[in-house]
Amino acid sequence: MFDIRHDVLIALGGILAILVIASVVTFALRTKLSAGIHRELNQRLQSWWTMVAIFAVAISVSDIVSLIFFALVSFLALKEYLSLIPTRRVDRQVIFWAYLAIPLQYVLVGYEWYGMFIILIPVYAFLLLPMRMVLAGETANFLRAMGTLHWGLMAMVFSISHVAYLLVLPEEVNPGAGGAGLVLFLVFLTQFNDVSQYIWGKLFGRHQAVPTVSPAKSVEGLIGGLVTTTALALVLGPWLTPLDQPQSIGAGLIIGTAGFVGDAVISALKRDLGVKDSGSLLPGHGGVLDRVDSLIYTAPLFFHYTFYLHY
């Protein structure tokens, strides 16, 4: 229990300090901001406090607790996705089978069976779920049902489980901060990038980046976020991960760009479905899907980048 690394503890302390500062600033600005914006900021901050607290406990108690936590994130995200998209009544059983991929995938992480972890969903689920749909016998909207279900599994289970796999990578490669250091680096930079793109966009946003998908996203926000995230990656990378300085810059660029794309992809999906938020679990943020949208893109890309270079 609580065999938490010294460096990870310091990093968590840093996140705590950022939250304290953000809360103080929000409180100090309460008379300068409009009531609506202040309320939204407060709600968001409160959700951040909760998320950081849960996340900190999840990655510091033990690997088993961390795996259960990330499995739960996958479950909540997949459930939100499947509740938003059109599904077919005949596919109830198929959807049940799709959910079973979650415990299986995370058990594979727990056993560090990389070869199976990396093909369970792209190969086996991909081939078997349509077969189960054929047995159900309904051909109307078959392609839609098959495609949307597989996309959901890839995004919510396959992608997100890469965060968990960082935890079980061999410790000796990253003796300072261990797997928890890698997770912290990825998740913190991904979320930091979201917030900094938002702030840069609010301050200097002039040119829309993807006007038909997400009118609020600007080129200025994207570039400002990318620069800030990369600078932070350069500082944190050599300390929390096995990456050296040039490699850390690469990681920052990957996380900044991929985070933007992930966010935009989920925005496009929600626009197609005609919903604003994917849920109401996190006040001020929307649903779980709204919070992990960037992670869907950053997690596998950062994982394979680091994996290729060092493991």
Footprint of another protein on this chain (CB under 8 A)?
75-76, 79-80, 82-89, 92-93, 95-96, 99, 140-141, 273-274, 279-281
DSSP 208: B
Minimum gap (Å) between residue 96 Cβ and another protein: 5
Which residue lies nearer to another protein by CB, 288 or 301? 288
Which residue lies nearer to another protein by CB, 36 or 86? 86
Minimum gap (Å) between residue 196 Cβ and another protein: 29
- Alpha-carbon distance of 100 to 88, in angstroms, equals 19
Minimum gap (Å) between residue 200 Cβ and another protein: 32
Minimum gap (Å) between residue 137 Cβ and another protein: 15
- Alpha-carbon distance of 166 to 183, in angstroms, equals 6
* Neighbour tally for 123: CB within 10 Å: 11
Minimum gap (Å) between residue 280 Cβ and another protein: 5
Which residue lies nearer to another protein by CB, 47 or 141? 141
CB 293 within 8 A of CB 155: no
Which residue lies nearer to another protein by CB, 252 or 279? 279
CB 106 within 8 A of CB 71: yes
Distances in whole angstroms, Cα of residue 29 to Cα of each of 48, 123, 174: 18, 52, 41
Interhelix angle 178-204/63-84, nearest 10 degrees:
40
- Alpha-carbon distance of 306 to 251, in angstroms, equals 8
Minimum gap (Å) between residue 72 Cβ and another protein: 8
Which residue lies nearer to another protein by CB, 80 or 263? 80
Which residue lies nearer to another protein by CB, 240 or 288? 288
- Alpha-carbon distance of 205 to 198, in angstroms, equals 9
Minimum gap (Å) between residue 144 Cβ and another protein: 10
Residue 218 dihedral angles phi and psi, to the nearest 5°: -120, 160
Which residue lies nearer to another protein by CB, 147 or 211? 147
- Alpha-carbon distance of 37 to 43, in angstroms, equals 10
- Alpha-carbon distance of 252 to 237, in angstroms, equals 9
